[in-house]
Structure 1
Amino acid sequence: MQEWLEVLLRTLCAAVVLFLLTKLLGKRQVSQLSFFEYLTGITIGSIAASLSLDLEANWYLGLIALAVWVAFSLLIELLQIKSKRLRDFIDFKATTVIKEGKVLEGNLKKERLTSDELMEQLRKKSIFDLADVEFAIMESSGEVNVMLVSEKQPLTPKHLGLQPGSIKEPHEVIMDGEVMEEPLRLSGKSAAWLKRELNKNNVKQEEVYLAQVDTSGELKLDLYDDQISLPQVRQKAALFANLKKCEADLEMFGISAPTKESKELYTNTANRLNQLLAEIKPLLQQKKK
């Protein structure tokens, strides 16, 4: 066999085996490598390269080496699942680097992290003032996760005493002009409903690049032809209805509020929302021209 043909066959074989073994190792091997997985990836790649080009070596020995490394990696992962000590030993332990706005210099030195690198990590999270940080923890991956002090944390429905309903998962029901049967079923919609929605928008299935049933159960369309404009009236009407519902909920909470302060807060917020709705009502309820 000619050398170029042998190299071609060995490379194809190594690529297929490497792909299958990578799939076997799972998504975490690709999305975020631990310290040991990083070493495993380098070694497996080196073996695969040698398998492709080293014509003097037996190809099956390279496959055996690949299989041994993957099996060893899987064994380590299984042991990590069962043992916290082994996880800490292999992947390192999380380390607190900021506590109550104060940098823990000893822990920084332990993790070999400079103050410049720490501030860079904070700036990536739009944090420029150390006093805004309650805790900052360096994870085993090297990423720094931050918890802000309470007054700097974003406002949530829980802070207002609200209990919003659960959000449904969006589903892509058409891709590249083809209906996706399983996502359509999971969205709780039928093929007949999908056809009616397409007809309402005067769109054919094969004209749709991507169609998604969003969290509110509405069908959102993206067409191959970007010059075609789709009506937005139903979306605007739904937004207006949701805002009106929020206003009614705030008024109801104001009536049942246990204290005078919370009653005034709910009432004032409802009044401000009512003023906002009066201003944007012409935009949200405008007719399609």
Structure 2
Amino acid sequence: MILNKQSASLVLFFSLVLHSDAVWAAENQQSELAPSVSASDSSLRSYVKEETADSKNEQPAEENGEGKTWINNLVSTVAEKGAQVISANTDDQAPQYRTNASVFDISGVMLRMNVKQTMEAMQKRGYQRNSEKYEIPNFIRWRYEEQCRNQGVVGYERTEACVIKMAQKNNYQYVEQMVFNNFKNKENVHVYFTSNFTGNKAYRIVYMSEAANIKGSGAKADYLRNIKIYDFWKKINQKYGVPDNKEQVIWGLGENKPFLQAATGKLMLYDPMLLELDYTRMSREDQRFMNTDVYTF
């Protein structure tokens, strides 16, 4: 493989990156430690260093020095401390945030897109829909279950069918999650939607790639793995720029505003404000249900 003029940065990356494989915690926010660099790549490093020495004098000035620096600093920081990524709580670092993540997209999908727009965006990027999950808000489901039983419906399957029919009739059933796959590139995207109380809009988009998961522990496997990992972060820098929080790799305005968070081979675009609005409107609807004439005394 021919080494390009970015090999100087790549050498530093090789020595640290496998210690820095960031932790992925999507919902339960549990952390895992990244594997350490194997000893089998010493000969590869020697080869790369020799090539680097030859091309060092020819390397031009960096077009985006800040972008290069944050990638290398990220590697160093994570190697020393480990990274706790995909955390929904950004209040502690709120003053640091300045990027409006609501304008970002992942594979063409943006926050607050509806189901139709999401499917169109995914198809344009070569993704296929793998699964689709429907849901009914619990406070609606429980009330409909009671109504169905009062109508004489018995058995789990019949009760469930009755609840779904009533929910569809009143437009309470909605698409909660869609999963898309790009089998050619080993990529998948999970899109989570709010209820119909807020228009069934995307509030969370999770991207995962298996491209960097190369099996093997030899020099060749380490080299190819590191190349793909470095390329991932380089593309992140090109598309989204320098993160506002370089340690946790977060772009956003802080507090409950939309934010983007990255780990090696993974991305999450999240809008907690939209989800909170959805819960608020469901709570109001629940209160409306309570103001019914159940008692006659």
Q: Shared topology, TM-score over 0.5?
A: no
Larger helix percent = 1
Q: Could you say which structure has the larger radius of gyration? A: 1
- Higher relative contact order, structure no. (Cα contacts within 8 Å, ≥ 6 residues apart): 2
TM-score scaled to structure 1, two decimals?
0.23
Larger strand percent = 2
TM-score scaled to structure 2, two decimals?
0.22
